[in-house]
Amino acid sequence: MRRLLARRMKFHLFGAFLLSVGCAALYKFGVADPRKRAYAEFYKNYDPMKDFEAMRAAGVLESAPPK
């Protein structure tokens, strides 16, 4: 029974470290990188003036009334 807590603590700390690194890697490659690629693809072909004119024509903007 001696040093039982210390032995179990080493095991659990090592397991918690591996689990946290695994979750961080899973988030990076499963969420963050695809999101970055999606934003880059969207802004590659994005025309803000065209979007502004579409919102203006729809009457969404109060400060810029439709023509």
User: Could you read off the pLDDT of 26-51 as tens digits, one per residue?
Assistant: 999 999 999 999 999 999 999 999 99
| Cα distance between residue 10 and residue 16, in whole Å | 10
When divided into structural domains, the chain yields a total of: 1
Average pLDDT over residues 1-5: 87
Residue 65 lies in a domain: no
Supply the pTM of this predicted model: 0.68
**Three-state DSSP state, 65:** coil
The reply to whether 66 falls in a domain is: no
* Domain encompassing residue 31: 4-58
d(CA 66, CA 31): 39
The alpha-helical segments, DSSP class H, found in the chain are 4-27, 33-44, 48-58
In whole angstroms, what is the distance from residue 1 CA to residue 65 CA? 79
